[in-house]
Structure 1
């Protein structure tokens, strides 16, 4: 183990045992009645247990939180949470998430503890807009390295979506219609705005059997903004104006979600099968318009457009039970995401198409299984778990993608297989009734890279007066992505290459946190937390300049050392019909970039985030009022400026911005009919100023604006619930 890890654990152990011996002061309290304290979490646990007993800090987004935000997909709800940044891409229609300033390649997204397939792998770089929330029970978030329990690429944290698997009633039927404006663009059930319809049915067949089925359609008509739309013809090649080009600022897309679940349960045994199918149709309208002369007819305005169709299958079979007094939990999953593209010539005046050509653009298929046996020692003081994970990923991209064309394989499609087979073990040791320790280790047999390992140690101390102290250390790793390994874009203007010799990054994560929960006789409940964490990443992969002739030559190499520390504090107040939450986080990030050609300053750059939300219930009216606010402070990063004769790193800024959402939710007819009305992005954020060129990523300096949203929008959601 690293020396800093040993020092950290020694200090934490001393603090934990010292504070245990200290005399504590008891607050005036009453028995806990708030259901939040009894929330059961499963992520990272040996057995499902309450948040209070968890060694890890787990944030929970409940089904009620999702309802108040009228969230249809994961991107709708995550923007308001501290240390989470949703990064939308208006050109691809995708939204990904970053944590601790690390992009989506470092964060793992799971459904029922199974990582989701994505364009480039499993669990990482997942498009949040492709995750529907209609059948979600709760969302659990853990920050920091979780490599022992969740394997590769769980460096900055994990997001685990827990779906519903039971119902309180014999039948639960629901039908939903939701209408939203996109900025100031809207036409009822027409060609503007966002139109959502959903149906769900759940049935408790008998004491053992349960089944559910659901479907959702999300029709996003795109955001035109200042552009001209599909049939715009006034494009001037001599004086192109991106602000008024043909097409959309946000591309139109239509999504269909379907899901089904069957569960059987008897005594200690439970088995379920879950199936999801997703279909997305996205239209790309080329901003460039040209003239084409047709003999005997005249001149037509023509553009080269594309359609992308994405299909995703998700199969998950899970069994939980006991054998010889030991608990087992096994999951097997088969997933596939396939994207087809159709290219064609579009004649704007007539609406006709020509030269249509369809082919598979990208295809990822994964066979996945994980399982564990716990309670091996059959001892109430020590719970030992051993488990495995097996991953077989087949990745495919067509030559149409362009960036993977190798000079020796022009026009040849790229297909690669990655496999890993892991063994892991964890233990939860109850040293006393209030103090527990959780060590863990994982070893990964890799087909493409050197074998990897992960380790962790968590400590938890509870006190009689409501104080909780937690500390953790984790070592994890990130394997290179498809792009980093195989990119090849070399022409008269570009020289950008992947690197098949890349090695995985290694990360070390430390966290120390305290929590205090206080109940008063008046009914007031206060929950205050403070946490500090530190992450360091070695051999971080960066795309950097490695040569100058004839063009600037870029390549992915292991050169970057990344350090991050943060301090956060959150506060929650519950009193009668009021609930208020507020949080503040300060993050410092240092990157040591040096490849022998150019070098960046490795000083720490800081960012501040603040959030709050208020909820007020009026039981007499069956109404809840909710307000969400988040401040995202200015961020800075060093950017490689290749426009200079001698390239160098320049400090660039992205301005801060604020987001505010508000909603009113009212139920009618004995809670059978829900109406939710509200507004998103009340401060009307569209573009934020940035000195980082949008088309150059983090590797060229420039000046531009980043499209962060489509302005203030309003929504109305109507849901009919029939519970029998």
Structure 2
């Protein structure tokens, strides 16, 4: 493993520095029209080259090549990102730099998306619709100044489409996909339909409406489905069936420097759980009559966003957003009668809800001198959450309760300046102060540097301090009985983090028309007062509690290389991450080893366009190296100890072929996901490599195939 790691790093560094020393350049003005425009973390939209931040852009074309069903399918192929899936509820969440989804913030048009346990964090990636996306922007590292709490490992901003080149744009799509080797048009596989209509009334008014349905019929595997009548544990599904419905609409008005839009999104999801236990009805007049106690989880999310952008006093730029979001999760319990295939005794109740009123705004362009710019901004969050005993058992003011209702608020102000000493050298300092209703007031700070060296070499550096606030479960969980003792902690304090990044990028344009882009980045991060669920006592019963005890350090070196020539486009990247985590169990007089543990990721993709056939061939591959961490456990004598847990390496490959007909009005895409047929990855514990039964990490349901048909009608 060490040999391969050294070889990958050596090759990457060779490619990087070879490119950085390359001098055979064409006039870079030829590429000015191809400059990607980014908005995340900027004072106003600007070209990627001028951004002080190192922004990674995923275009609409990238998403189309993958024929992705949700955000998880897209991110699964990118460096420094790991996707965690669950067959029991179908959720997918993101992990970056070894830290979970609570440290990574997901936004839609700069507004954080509400989730079960937070705002912008712990987002279920399967619940993020891709039909309305213009592009995705990712910034790694601390973004606490511009995006507030929990933007520790980075932010992902989804930019939705708000304009059209044509007076009318009508798009309709149907997609059929197998689930492993299972498929039928109604009760097996995945079935997706969506439609969108956009209209420019005139040069000022724009309207769009759309909707989609994603029906996942579940994965049977070795199970027999909901109508299986034997009581042998085979009833139900290995991956639960679920249906998702999405509706959205946008109204926008633009005139000169003034822009305003209102956007609405609805998301609905039903997840069905079918109990493997079959119960006979005793003394029923008919023989062989059976039922089961089943349940259904129902989610509804409503998203409203009003944004206005323009000028004040003919100079100042303002950008203000106001958002209202509400998400409810209901549980519906019922008896499923197997012979008649009918439901009885249905009882539905809300067990979890989150409602957020959010607003953010900024002023910029204070000076006529374009070498200096200043941004003043605010963020206001009013978050109200409700959980009842179905979601868990909670403790409020040290008292065990069946439900908890809490309101969390924060009111932030932030400022940043961008100083362009020359066309080549820019500096961007910033600071944020956050007034918290639950915790002590917090602050974040950052400093960004950008310098353009000769031959078009772009260098960027950044350092930042950020914070993460404890979530609902960490504060209020209380699960204590004769066999369990797991408690939250209302005295938790926010975690604090520091991150440092240095990146170098160069694009080379050859006389032959070939283009080469190279990017090398080094990142270091440490997190203090990290919250973990820790073992606090061994006897008479193992007890766990959330506490601020960990210290987390991470360093990462990553490099990407992209080559384009005529109809070929190739990309390869690698990332090596080292993680050190110190866990101090003072109550048990035990401290973990804090040595760095390393993991390697390699990704690549290759595409070839055949203009004569209007056909594009694409293939994606990502290798995820072995991951290790120390965890608390007990030995055979019942004494507390730390053991090394290892998750084995695995690879993930997707491929597709897309062909256009009738002047691009009709598209057909066929392809396969998870060509390597990965389902789960072995998890071992201890230096002896003992496999822990039932603890494998579930990643997918195996190889699947899809067919996607898209119809585009554009006219003026």
Interval of TM-score (by shorter of Structure 1 and Structure 2): over 0.9
Of the candidates 143, 150, 166, which is equivalent to residue 147 of structure 2?
A: 150
How has the CA–CA distance of structure 1 residues 678 and 333 changed in structure 2, closer, same or farther, with 3 Å as cutoff?
A: same
Q: Structure 2: any 5+ residue segments left out of the alignment?
A: 1-19
How has the CA–CA distance of structure 1 residues 505 and 185 changed in structure 2, closer, same or farther, with 3 Å as cutoff?
A: same
Of the candidates 296, 299, 322, which is equivalent to residue 311 of structure 2?
A: 322
SS for the counterpart of 1:485 is helix
How has the CA–CA distance of structure 1 residues 450 and 51 changed in structure 2, closer, same or farther, with 3 Å as cutoff?
A: same
Any idea what the Cα deviations from partners look like across 1:590-636, whole Å, max 9, x if unmatched? 10001211321111111000000011111111111111000001111
Contact 2:316 2:363 in 1 (8 A): yes
Report how far residue 647 of structure 1 moved: 1.5
SS for the counterpart of 2:695 is strand
Contact 1:691 1:703 in 2 (8 A): no
Q: Does 1:625 align with 2:617?
A: yes
Task: Provide the residue aligned with 1:12 in structure 2.
Answer: none
Of the candidates 200, 203, 218, which is equivalent to residue 204 of structure 1?
A: 200
Q: Does 1:595 align with 2:591?
A: no
Task: Provide the residue aligned with 1:677 in structure 2.
Answer: 670
How has the CA–CA distance of structure 1 residues 339 and 676 changed in structure 2, closer, same or farther, with 3 Å as cutoff?
A: same
How has the CA–CA distance of structure 1 residues 130 and 703 changed in structure 2, closer, same or farther, with 3 Å as cutoff?
A: closer
Task: Provide the residue aligned with 2:263 in structure 1.
Answer: 274
Task: Provide the residue aligned with 1:583 in structure 2.
Answer: 573
Report how far residue 295 of structure 1 moved: 4.4
Any idea what the Cα deviations from partners look like across 1:258-305, whole Å, max 9, x if unmatched? 110011011110000000011111101123334442344456444321
Q: Does 1:41 align with 2:38?
A: yes
CA RMSD, aligned part only? 1.9
1:637-652 residue pairs with structure 2 within 5 A? 637-642=629-634, 644=636, 645-652=638-645
Question: CA–CA distance in 1 between the matches of 2:644 and 2:694?
Answer: 12
Question: CA–CA distance in 1 between the matches of 2:631 and 2:281?
Answer: 42
Question: CA–CA distance in 2 between the matches of 1:531 and 1:305?
Answer: 50
Contact 1:293 1:299 in 2 (8 A): no
Task: Provide the residue aligned with 2:628 in structure 1.
Answer: 636
Q: Does 1:716 align with 2:712?
A: no
Contact 2:669 2:709 in 1 (8 A): yes
Report how far residue 350 of structure 1 moved: 3.5
Any idea what the Cα deviations from partners look like across 1:403-439, whole Å, max 9, x if unmatched? 3267986663211110000000001110111000000
Q: Does 1:92 align with 2:84?
A: no
Question: CA–CA distance in 1 between the matches of 2:701 and 2:621?
Answer: 17
How has the CA–CA distance of structure 1 residues 323 and 629 changed in structure 2, closer, same or farther, with 3 Å as cutoff?
A: same
Task: Provide the residue aligned with 1:168 in structure 2.
Answer: 165
Question: CA–CA distance in 2 between the matches of 1:702 and 1:651?
Answer: 16
Of the candidates 431, 437, 442, which is equivalent to residue 432 of structure 2?
A: 442
The alignment covers a number of residue pairs equal to: 688
Report how far residue 660 of structure 1 moved: 0.5
Report how far residue 136 of structure 1 moved: 0.7
TM-score, scaled to structure 1 = 0.92
Contact 2:396 2:404 in 1 (8 A): no
Of the candidates 315, 321, 336, which is equivalent to residue 326 of structure 2?
A: 336
Contact 1:37 1:51 in 2 (8 A): no
1:226-625 residue pairs with structure 2 within 5 A? 226-236=222-232, 245-298=234-287, 300-324=289-313, 325-404=315-394, 412-596=402-586, 597=588, 598-625=590-617
Contact 2:643 2:685 in 1 (8 A): no
Task: Provide the residue aligned with 2:17 in structure 1.
Answer: none
How has the CA–CA distance of structure 1 residues 637 and 24 changed in structure 2, closer, same or farther, with 3 Å as cutoff?
A: closer
User: 386-395 vs 347-356, which deviates more?
Assistant: 347-356
Q: Does 1:159 align with 2:156?
A: yes
Report how far residue 357 of structure 1 moved: 1.6
Contact 1:121 1:395 in 2 (8 A): no
Report how far residue 36 of structure 1 moved: 8.5
How has the CA–CA distance of structure 1 residues 312 and 25 changed in structure 2, closer, same or farther, with 3 Å as cutoff?
A: closer
